[in-house]
Amino acid sequence: MRIGELGKATGVDIETIRYYEKAGLLPPPARMPNGYRAYRPVHLERLAFIRHCRALDVPLAEVKRLLDFVAHPEADCGDINQLIDEQLGRVRARLKSMRALEKQLAALRAQCQVGNSAANCGILHELVAAANGEACACHGAVAKPGFRKGSLSR
C-alpha cells in the first residue's frame, strides 16, 4: 500500500502522514525498490487510531502515550483513565469559557443596528468601554462567570 492509498483509505492528507512518521507516531514503513513507502494493514490501523484520537482533540503527545499503552498491554490502565480525565477536564473548561464567550458575543451583537456609522456603533462602544473597565482594574464588572479577564489561558 502506497502512501496515497493509505491517505485515501483513512481520509488523511499525505503530508500529514509523513508528518506523523517524522513525529514518531507512525512507525517508518518498509520501502519499495523505488523508495516509495510500503504500508501494511498495521499502519492503517495505527493511523486510524491516531486520527480518532485527534478527532477527540487529544494532543499528539498524549496519543503517543496511548500508543505506548497499546504496545504494552500489561501496564496499569489507571494511567489511561487519568489521561482521559485530563483531556475531559480540558474540554470541559474550554466548553465553559466558550459558552460565556458566546453569550458575550451575542450580547455585543445585539448592541448594534445596521446603518449606523461606526461612531455610533453600539458594539464598538461596548468593546471600548469594557476594555476600559478592565484596564482600570474594575475586574469583575464586565467579565462575569468563568470568564478569564485580561490574561488568556496562560
Partner DNA sequence: GAACACCCCGTAGCAACTCCGGGGTCAAGC
Partner DNA sequence: GCTTGACCCCGGAGTTGCTACGGGGTGTTC
Residue 37 binding target from DNA, its own copies, none, CB below 5 to 8 Å by type: DNA
Q: Does 15 bind DNA (CB under 7 A)?
A: yes
Q: Is 97 in the site for DNA (CB under 7 A)?
A: no
- Do residues 48 and 10 lie in contact, with contact meaning Cβ atoms separated by under 8 Å? yes
Least spacing, CB of residue 58 vs DNA, in Å: 8
83 and 65 in contact (C-beta within 8 Å)?
yes
Q: Which is nearer to its own copies, 33 or 145 (CB)?
A: 145
Residue 115 contacts which entry, DNA, its own copies, none (Cβ below 5-8 A, type-dependent): its own copies
Partner from DNA, its own copies, none contacting 138, C-beta within 5 to 8 A by type: none
Residue 60 touches which member of DNA, its own copies, none, C-beta under 5-8 Å by kind = DNA
Residues 30, 61, 118, 135: which binds DNA (CB under 7 A)? Answer: 61
Q: Does 14 bind DNA (CB under 7 A)?
A: yes
Based on CB atoms, which residue is closest to DNA, 2 or 149? 2
Q: Which amino acid is at 109?
A: R
The HSE-up count of residue 64 (CA atoms within 13 Å, CB side) is 10
Residues 125-154 that bind DNA (CB under 7 A): 152-154
Phi, psi of 53 (to 5 degrees): -60, -45
Task: Note the Cα 123 to chain centre separation in Å.
Answer: 29
Q: Which of 9, 60, 100, 130 binds DNA (CB under 7 A)?
A: 60
Render the burial of 104-121: b for 16+ CB within 10 Å, e for the rest: beeeeeeebeeeeeeeee
Cβ-proximal residues to 78 (8 Å cutoff; 6+ apart), any chain: none
Phi and psi angles of residue 73, each rounded to the nearest 5 degrees, phi first = -70, -5
- What residue 80 binds from DNA, its own copies, none (CB within 5 to 8 A, per partner kind)? its own copies
